[in-house]
Homo-oligomer: A and B are copies of this chain.
Amino acid sequence: MHRLTVELGERSYPILIGQGLLSNSNNLAPYIRGRQVMVVSNETVAPLYLQKLMEGLDGCDLDQVDHIELPDGEAFKNLDTLNRIFDALLECRHNRSTTLIALGGGVVGDMTGFAAASYQRGVDFIQIPTTLLSQVDSSVGGKTGVNHPLGKNMIGAFYQPRLVLADMDTLSTLPAREFSAGVAEVIKYGLICDEGFFSWLEANIERLMARDRDALAYAVERSCQDKAAVVAADEREGGQRAILNFGHTFGHAIESVQGYGQWLHGEAVAAGMVMAAELSRLRGDITGELVERVRTLLVRANLPVRAPEGMTSGQFLTAMAVDKKVIDGRLRLVLLAGLGRALIVSDCSPEEIEKSLRLCGAA
């Protein structure tokens, strides 16, 4: 088992990475302060892993363990579903010293985290991400929240878990499309801040796609290290943390126009990273050769590298204007200054953006 610490002063927390972690109470007990636990999962993940987690919780000193299963999917990441968690907590009389455990992917993690941030103005929570995407991304960094019909992640909080458990065993049942979507974020870390990792990925992408346990554990650990380093330097996204959004502004536009749940988040980010790379090249910051390396690696990971069929550049620009990264009317974008080096700019013209979109197949 590997152990990382996300350094955030009094809000620091560990990430444990390994196999067979769920059912071992030694991994859980030290991080549960009260005597009540509410496990939040979804209807897909609960049948697979809830029993294992319950075994782990059996060995903890608890009075009450409840669980709730949410419907599965980004389409349910909203205030109504969030309220079902509050209903369950109040019906089961959970008090201020309860611990919420998120067992599932990013949607479950984001909603459980926001529920924990808001229930009685804040209770403890533990993240057990069961998808590759959530292991390398949404379980690290304290971003929690839900979507609004007019925008993704528009309602939420910065709230840190007490513990993240990344159990490689849970990746064995992950559908191929979702697995690839996770690899998109893994590749992102190489691009924005870790040149050596990008080269490792180019050399090892077949092993990773075959879900070789060692390759997986290495990729998750290095991704978490990269993200933890960025988050530790900028917990509340005042500045440099924004580089983690590489590909995301374009990606969110795809998700929002196609309707949440049509494209997976990681798929949208993959295409978005190619758009951001093309834009970087257009501005003269990186070479066409690097853009092709990005495209090639994403294709090898079975990820999309073009805009959705029929989506226009006008649709992109409209959707991007409500993205959170707009400050006082200026669109901030994360581009590349080289391999492993990200750059935040706010001086892109709509024409430049449109050109890069067309290079990626936008109508």
| Residues in A lying within 8 Å of B, measured CB to CB | 34-35, 63, 79, 83, 86-87, 90-91, 93, 95-97, 117-122, 143-145, 148, 150-151, 153-158, 236-237, 321-322, 324, 326-329
**From residue A146, how far is it (CB to closest CB) to chain B in Å?**
9
Kindly provide the distance from the CB of A83 to the nearest chain B CB, expressed in whole angstroms. 6
B96:A121 contact, CB within 8 angstroms: no
Cβ contact within 8 Å between A90 and B148: yes
Copies in the complex: 2
B121 near A157 with CB under 8 A, answer: yes
Given the interface pairs A121-B145, A122-B158, A157-B157, the reply to whether A95 lies near B150 with Cβ below 8 Å is: no
User: CA A154 – CA B148 in complex, angstroms?
Assistant: 22
Known: A117-B157, A145-B121. A83 touches B79 (CB 8 A): yes
B327 touching A97, Cβ below 8 Å: yes
User: Which one of B120, B155, B157 lies within 8 Å of A154 (CB-CB)?
Assistant: B120
Please determine whether A90 and B322 come into contact, CB atoms closer than 8 angstroms: yes
- Cα–Cα distance between A276 and B322 once the two chains are bound (Å): 51
In the complex, are the beta carbons of A121 and B86 less than 8 A apart?
no
Which residues of B lie under 8 Å from residue A96 when comparing CB positions? Answer: 324, 326-327
| Shortest Cβ gap from A189 to chain B (Å) | 22
